[in-house]
Structure formats: structure tokens, C-alpha cells
């Protein structure tokens, strides 16, 4: 199972950061989402090129762990619904998202039964949201373990195999303790998350379900910025080995079902041909903020 995390910063460091800044300077806030990129198929083979982080809206992104087909179907349905939804609609998006997740998971379970398999991986999904009303980030969490009832929280959240989650939290705590300087930008916190993810992916005790590239996005008041980073090449402690791409704010990435056998490049080309990346000025629907 994937390791996926959402980290609302400055997590527990706000008082420390505030003391280090001039009185007129605010402590930055936002949310970092990160995941590995390994897809594990029923026949046992694995592909380290799966996409598991998506930009849903200008200030909303999502990561997931668990059944890939159900997750992609639910997110695709959610995006289609948002595109059709009228501006100013009062529909409660948290409950709509729950319904799409329930429907997609039920379809995935029925498909498994038709082919003679009774077991279905659990599905856990974390939405990282920056709310303009409160100027604060929060996390909206869904899990098949509780019928996808939405739960709202802040701080650091991780889903995946227990040992992988433990390794991530331990690495993030170590990074916090070893820091010689106080983090004061979103990229500082994003880099800390990347370091912790790298440690979890390299841990001797990691599960076989995680691997490949680290995919990460930063969501804050300015929108969403995406960072490409590989834990298998370059030095994770050297910022020059990873390059942020801060210009995809207000861009949507259409979800393309990833069928076994299709290469990552073929899927990307298909998405681009279909006009996958589209600029929008819609308001944030999951938190009903502009």
C-alpha cells in the first residue's frame, strides 16, 4: 500500500517561528502533500510510475493509498461534477465527495467478485485544503474503514502500512530535532517532508508496497505548486537536485484511468491530447471559499 501524507505547516512550530520573526511578519501556513509512486497489481508485478497526487482545485490537492481503480474513478467523477457545478452553488462538497467514494468503492468490490476475488484493498484519501476565509490549511480525510465519513483535521496525517507510517513520522521528528535553523517558508516545510519521505522509502523495514519517485505538491494562499523529486537519484539534502514548478496554480489535471500495460508517457500524452491541463478561476468548492 502507498505511503501518502498531508502536513499542515507550521505544525507545532508556530510559537518558535513567531519568536524568530519581526513582530509585523506573519508565520506562513499551508499544507504539503506527498506520496510515493508504486502501483502494485493483483498478479504481483509492480510499476514505479503511478500518479497518486492530483490537483482538484486552485487550492485543493489530494493523495490516496489503497485501491487505485476506485480512487481514480471517484476523483474523475468528482472533477466532472465540479466542472458542471454552477458558480455559487450551496451543495455540500464534503458529502458529495463521500458519495462518489462510496459508489466507486462499491463498483470496485463488485468487479472483484465477478472475477472470483473477494478481497479489496482499503482506500484512504487525504485532501489538503487552504481555506481563504480563515487563511489556514486543513485536511479532509476519508477511509473505507468508516464508510468514507469525512473527518476534518490539521497537523500531520499519514496513511499506508503501519510500519511505513511509523518510519515517516519518526524521520520527520528527527528532521525537526536536527534542524539548525527555524523553517520560515513553505518550501522549507516541503523539503522537510521530502527528507522524511525519502527516509521512509529507504528504510530497511519498509514494505514492498512503496517505492519509486516522490510526488509532492505545496498548497498555500498563492495556490498549488508542484515539485518533482526522485529519492533514487541526486542528494535529498541538496536543494539543487529538486526543482519546484510554481506556475501551475489554478491548473487542473484531468484524471486518466491507468490501465495495466500502458506506459507513463502514453498516459501523459493521452491526457494532454484530451486537453487535461486547463486554467480555471473557480472558487474552492470543498471549503466554499474564493
Beta bridge partners of 215: 35, 228
Task: Give yes or no for a contact between 160 and 3, defined as CB atoms under 8 angstroms apart.
Answer: yes
pLDDT tens string, the chain, 290 residues long: the values are 889 999 999 887 888 888 888 887 888 899 999 999 887 766 666 777 778 888 888 899 999 998 888 998 999 899 888 888 766 667 788 999 999 999 999 999 998 888 877 678 899 999 999 988 888 899 999 999 999 999 999 899 999 999 999 999 999 999 888 877 788 788 889 989 999 999 999 999 999 889 888 889 999 998 888 765 444 344 444 444 444 333 332 223 333 333 333 333 333 333 333 333 232 233 344 554 33
In whole angstroms, give the CA distance from residue 57 to residue 60.
5
The set of cell numbers assigned to 154 is: 490539521
The set of cell numbers assigned to 179 is: 534542524
Q: What's the pTM value of the predicted model, to 2 decimals?
A: 0.77
Enter the CATH code of domain 4-279. Answer: 3.60.20.10
The set of cell numbers assigned to 266 is: 502514453
CB atoms inside a 10 Å sphere around CB 275: 8
The set of cell numbers assigned to 89 is: 452553488
Q: Is 141 helix (H, G, I), strand (E, B) or coil?
A: strand
Q: Where are the domains of the chain?
A: 4-279
Task: Give yes or no for a contact between 67 and 229, defined as CB atoms under 8 angstroms apart.
Answer: no
| Residue given cell 534542524 in the structure block | 179
Amino acid at each position: 500500500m502507498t505511503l501518502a501524507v498531508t502536513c499542515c505547516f507550521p505544525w507545532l512550530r508556530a510559537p518558535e517561528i513567531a519568536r524568530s520573526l519581526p513582530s509585523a511578519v506573519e508565520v506562513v501556513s499551508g499544507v504539503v502533500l506527498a506520496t510515493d509512486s508504486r502501483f502494485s497489481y493483483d498478479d504481483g508485478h509492480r510499476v514505479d510510475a503511478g500518479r497518486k497526487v492530483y490537483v482538484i482545485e486552485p487550492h485543493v490537492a489530494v493523495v490516496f493509498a489503497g485501491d487505485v481503480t476506485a480512487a481514480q474513478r471517484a476523483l474523475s467523477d468528482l472533477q466532472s461534477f465540479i466542472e458542471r457545478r454552477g458558480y455559487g452553488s450551496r451543495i455540500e462538497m464534503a458529502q458529495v465527495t463521500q458519495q462518489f467514494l462510496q459508489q466507486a468503492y462499491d463498483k470496485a468490490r463488485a468487479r472483484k467478485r465477478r472475477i472470483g476475488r473477494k478481497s479489496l484493498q482499503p482506500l484512504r484519501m487525504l485532501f489538503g485544503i487552504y481555506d481563504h476565509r480563515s487563511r489556514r490549511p486543513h485536511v479532509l480525510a476519508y477511509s473505507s474503514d468508516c464508510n468514507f465519513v469525512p473527518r476534518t483535521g490539521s497537523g500531520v496525517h499519514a496513511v499506508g502500512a503501519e510500519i511505513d507510517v511509523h518510519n515517516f513520522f519518526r524521520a520527520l521528528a528527527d528532521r525537526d530535532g536536527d534542524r539548525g535553523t527555524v523553517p520560515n517558508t513553505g518550501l522549507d516545510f516541503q523539503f522537510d517532508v521530502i527528507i522524511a519521505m525519502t527516509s521512509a522509502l529507504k528504510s530497511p523495514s519498509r514494505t514492498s508496497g512503496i517505492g519509486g519517485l516522490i510526488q509532492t505538491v505545496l498548497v498555500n494562499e498563492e495556490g498549488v505548486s508542484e515539485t518533482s523529486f526522485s529519492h533514487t537519484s541526486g542528494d535529498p539534502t541538496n536543494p539543487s537536485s529538486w526543482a519546484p514548478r510554481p506556475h501551475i496554480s489554478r491548473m487542473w489535471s484531468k484524471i486518466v484511468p491507468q490501465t495495466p500495460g500502458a506506459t507513463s508517457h502514453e498516459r501523459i500524452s493521452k491526457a494532454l491530447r484530451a486537453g487535461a491541463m486547463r486554467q480555471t478561476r473557480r472558487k474552492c468548492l470543498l471549503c466554499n471559499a474564493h
